[in-house]
Amino acid sequence: MPSSTKRPHVTIYTDGACSGNPGPGGWGAILISGTHRKELSGGEQLTTNNKMELTAAIEALAALKRPSKVDLHTDSTYVQNGIRQWIHGWKKNGWRTADRKPVKNAELWQRLDEQRARHDVEWHWVKGHAGHPENERADELAREGMAPFK
């Protein structure tokens, strides 16, 4: 991982939402650095919840203009397990699972891996819908991102 020396510290909260799975979906992210706060969101007509969870993390990291020390909070165990555990084996296996099947959402995982490489990222899991203000706001942003496609 890149060194965190003199890098800005950014705290990120992400969430994805989907109406139907697949169906219309949205993603949301909050980026906080010192007194600065930025909210991002977007959506797609036909997607899955997991794709939106991944997209939220990708877009949040891509929005950082320079390499940063990042604490990224997600309520997605899929993203959390994938980026911390599974991705290493997938890369070794040519983006195939242990049973040699193609990794689902491989293109998104590759994009997330590219963005992660630019930063010093600590991944944190937060329980969804448990009253955490930033996680709740990320969920609202994801639903707002989905709204035009419903």
Whether 75 is catalytic: yes
139 belongs to the catalytic site:
yes
Question: Does residue 120 have an active-site annotation?
Answer: no
Reported residue count of the chain is 150
Q: What is the DSSP string of 22-40?
A: SEEEEEEEEEEETTEEEEE
Query: Is 129 labeled as catalytic in the residue annotation?
Result: yes
Q: Return the exposure string of 2-30: e unless at least 16 CB atoms fall within 10 Å of the residue's CB, then b.
A: eebeebeebbbbbbbbbeeeebbbbbbbb
Buried b (16+ CB within 10 A) or exposed e, 42-76: bbbeebbbbbbbbbbbbbbbeebeebbbbbbbbbb
| CA distance linking residue 19 with residue 25, whole number of Å | 6
Q: Which of 16, 25, 43, 82 is catalytic?
A: 16
- 100-125 confidence digits (pLDDT tens): 999 999 999 999 999 999 999 999 99
pLDDT digits 0-9 by tens, 27-73: 999 999 999 999 999 999 999 999 999 999 999 999 999 999 999 99
The amino acid at 146: M
Determine which one of 53, 59, 82, 145 is catalytic.
53
Q: How far apart are CA 78 and CA 64, in angstroms?
A: 23
pTM for the whole thing? 0.94
Domains (range + CATH), the chain? 9-149 (3.30.420.10)
